[in-house]
Chain A
Amino acid sequence: MTPGTHWSPDWIREGTEYVMALTFSPDGATLAVAQADGFIRHLEATTGTCLWEREAHEYGVATLAFSPDGGFLLSGGQDGLIRQWSVESGHQTAEYIALGHWAEHLVWSPDGQCWAVSAGRQIQAFRADGQRLWLGPEQASTVTGLAWLEDSQHLLTTCYGGIRLFRVGGREIILQHEWKASFIALALSPDCRHVAGGCQDASMIVCDLLTKERLIMSGYAGKVANLAWDDHSRYLASSGNNEIIVWDFADDGPSGSTPLTLDRHVDRLSDLAFRPGTSQLASAGQDGLLILWQIADARIIRFHSTPQPLSRLAWHPRGQALAIGTADGEVRLLRNQA
């Protein structure tokens, strides 16, 4: 492995509270940051200048999602509420009750017409105009992952005991992969063929939604808390402790193959994400390291290090820049110079 080149940040914005969520606006011009003190900050992506900030949720913000048109921002809080903010003004324009203690997962449908939220065991779907479409059946346990299928009609969930598929509007489970494990991460491949679930018992399950077959990958160094697919649905990156394991789904798939192990971090991984449109993987760790990997030849392209543990990373929608957040509330922007 070549050492790669050091990556210097365009800007650093200081903070004090754990960065819980970090996301670029759909046009990449701004960046929303959610912190453990319940504040949301809306930053200009090129400079880091704060456009507005709001104390959004008591007990902290858990998740953020921009509407696909970039008009508003949804935030899910540990106060059990979902709030809608005008991106332009920062004013609150709507509020929804999550029906659970922590509104942890917010996802927009691929067609941009509706969004789904999970809080505790409850899942719901709302139309973009705020009307509730669906109150899903109570799940067996706290929902730890939520993803839409490409038809914008079906939702996948993970919770203790399995991966389940529901049709929005229906009550019954359409497909269920039962597995007696505590799931903590969910990632659906962009082609909607495979769904991966990371488990606390240091294993990962990948289900083929077409053939209903499933693969169980065990032997991770720790709980599998981070999962990421590349845009071409070829690579699935996963992490257990400080190790990144990348599975190749080309041709016959990963069954029986040896995955790629990227072993450079010295502490647990906090986040993983492929650069949009590429097979370059960004990994952020508790060790304060951000590494950009080229998966094809397992090479480090760039790295950046901070004195604080990293908590989140987010790619610019077209991969032009990368934002990272730290456990101590800092946000840094790294521009992709290549």
Chain B
Amino acid sequence: MSSQLSSRIPVTVLTGFLGAGKTTLLNRILTEHHGQRIAVIENEFGEIGIDQALVIDADEEIFEMNNGCICCTVRGDLIRILGNLMRRRHQFDAILIETTGLADPAPVAQTFFVDEEIAEQFRLDAIVTLVDARHIALHLDDSREAREQIAFADVILLNKIDQVDVTTRAALEQRLRGMNALATIHHAVHAEVPLDAVLNIGGFDLNRILKQNPDFLELEYPFEWAGLYHLAAGTHELMLQHGPDPTLKLCLQQASQVSASMATWQRQAQVCFEGEATGIQPGETLTRTNCLYELDLTTTPPLHFNWTIHTPAEYIVFTQHDPTEFDMRLMFAGLGLSPLREWSFKPDHQHDDQITSVSLTAEGDLDHSRFNNWLGELLREQGQSLFRGKGIISVKGLDKQLVFHTVHMLMDMQTGQPWGDTTRHSQLIFIGRDLNRAELTRGFAACQVQS
């Protein structure tokens, strides 16, 4: 963790519906011998009475900082209480704020951005959302608050996990993951989790999240498969059978032209997949690279398409679905070709929940002012539906990482660790309602410095 983060007192926000087990977890945290001094700011209806810790009642006063902007609603009582605790800051190692079951986490989180005095002394360490594994599915269907508590979470504790079967558990986890790709999910019975899974976890520190869960930024792709082929000049034949879908989108890229890695090809393919597709009937010829084709598979098989290669080189084919479902084969001069390498991708799920995560990555540097403008405009215009955002950015001319996180329209950005020998790249993720993945991808891509 960088020094500017660690000098501020970490604050954990505990959310979760009534009955999820917040009180049990609080009691556990307060009675366990962990050696940390924790001040607890609890909601009015809390039931805990603990001698060894300081427990303070909060009033849940929500008010708007800038007339009428709901993105700037903050908790006035927290500003007062934290302002007071600040005067004896060396008496505490950490602060825990419990919110009421139906609370929207945004005003609590925003308090740490909006009030300068608070922002200087405290850092929002993590939003921990406790979930009753038996009832959450129902809550997610019925309650906007429940969905937002999931969307805001850095940590999701699936409590009472012993009370659901394995299938329910898996489905639930997949659903939560679909809404919030960022959160670490823990299982618990009686809210029993190691303390370091909840307190002072550096929830806003993307570096740390990546260390714990290196795959979380793995994008959900508009394609499921890619294969790398070495192709000679001439006309190749692409043969398919009927599959689960009437069409199949694919795009071709010349891989050897770019010296970059798979990530670059993926990104190009992604941009390609977001564009308009060119419809192709069996017997027609595919000629262009970096072009999205949509193969019509409704006629009687076998379905043959031609693919003309002008330059012998390595090419990569991205397909919308797993090609084995269509028994796809690439032939040249009557011989079947096998890919030199192939990749599978996590498909872009069509979630029922409107809340999703979008992650964006780019190798190399971003242009600082273009990035700032893009992010600024994004937060201004879509801040209401963007719950959380986190990123590590590589900016041209800056030898340190730029680390930021956002809550609705508000942003906290600071320099992080030096890049040193590590490969410079940028990664960011947004969690929000009805996010436009294509638009975000395009906007982000436009911030890249062309090498």
Contacts and interface: CB of A to CB of B under 8 A. Distances in A.
B77 interface: yes
A200 B63 contact: yes
B59 A142 contact: yes
A59 B91 CA distance: 9
Given A182-B79, A223-B115, A160 B59 contact: yes
B61 interface: yes
B115 A144 contact: no
A102 interface: yes
Contacts of A18: 87-88
B190 interface: no
Given A101-B56, A101-B57, A201-B64, A17 B88 contact: yes
B144 interface: no
A36 B88 CA distance: 6
A20 interface: yes
Interface residues of A, number: 30
Nearest to A268: B117
Contacts of B56: 101-102
A60 B87 contact: yes
A68 interface: no
Given A201-B64, A222-B116, A142 B80 contact: yes
A37 B61 CA distance: 28
Given A36-B88, A101-B56, A101-B57, A200 B117 contact: no
A182 B117 contact: no
Interface residues of B, number: 21
A182 B60 CA distance: 11
A181 interface: yes
Contacts of A120: 57
Interface of A: 17-18, 20, 36-37, 59-60, 62, 78, 101-102, 120-121, 141-142, 144, 160, 180-182, 184, 200-202, 222-223, 241, 268, 311, 327
B54 interface: yes
A181 B87 CA distance: 24
Contacts of B63: 160, 180-182, 200-201
A332 to B, nearest CB: 18
B84 A327 contact: no
B75 to A, nearest CB: 9
Contacts of A102: 56, 84
B10 interface: no
Nearest to A17: B88
B65 interface: yes
B428 to A, nearest CB: 31
Contacts of A201: 63-66
Contacts of B76: 160, 182, 184, 200
A332 B115 CA distance: 30
B114 to A, nearest CB: 10
A144 B80 contact: yes
Given A141-B77, A241-B116, A268-B116, 10 more contacts: A18-B88, A59-B54, A101-B57, A102-B56, A160-B61, A160-B63, A182-B76, A182-B80, A200-B65, A201-B64
Interface of B: 54, 56-57, 59, 61, 63-66, 74, 76-77, 79-80, 84, 87-88, 91, 115-117
A327 B79 contact: no
A76 to B, nearest CB: 13
Given A200-B79, A223-B115, A327-B87, A141 B61 contact: yes
A260 B115 CA distance: 25
B87 A142 contact: no
Contacts of A17: 88
B295 to A, nearest CB: 59
18 contacts: A17-B88, A18-B87, A18-B88, A36-B87, A36-B88, A59-B91, A101-B57, A141-B59, A142-B77, A160-B77, A182-B77, A184-B76, A200-B76, A200-B115, A202-B65, A268-B116, A268-B117, A311-B87
Nearest to B59: A141
Nearest to A79: B54
A59 B53 CA distance: 10
The winner among B56, B59, B91, B117 for most chain A CB atoms within 10 A is B59
A20 B117 contact: no
Nearest to B79: A200
B61 A182 contact: yes
Nearest to A121: B59
Nearest to B58: A142
B117 to A, nearest CB: 7
A182 B64 CA distance: 10
A35 to B, nearest CB: 9
A310 to B, nearest CB: 13
Given A182-B61, A182-B63, A201-B64, A37 B88 contact: yes
A241 B117 CA distance: 10
Nearest to B55: A101
Given A142-B77, A144-B80, A223-B115, A60 B59 contact: no
A120 B18 CA distance: 24
Contacts of A36: 87-88, 91
Nearest to A161: B61
A120 B414 CA distance: 37
Nearest to A18: B87
Contacts of B74: 200
A101 B80 CA distance: 13
A184 B80 contact: yes
The winner among A37, A182, A327 for most chain B CB atoms within 10 A is A182
Contacts of B117: 268
A200 B79 CA distance: 9
**Which 5 interchain pairs have the tightest Cβ spacing?**
A182-B76, A36-B88, A18-B87, A160-B61, A141-B59
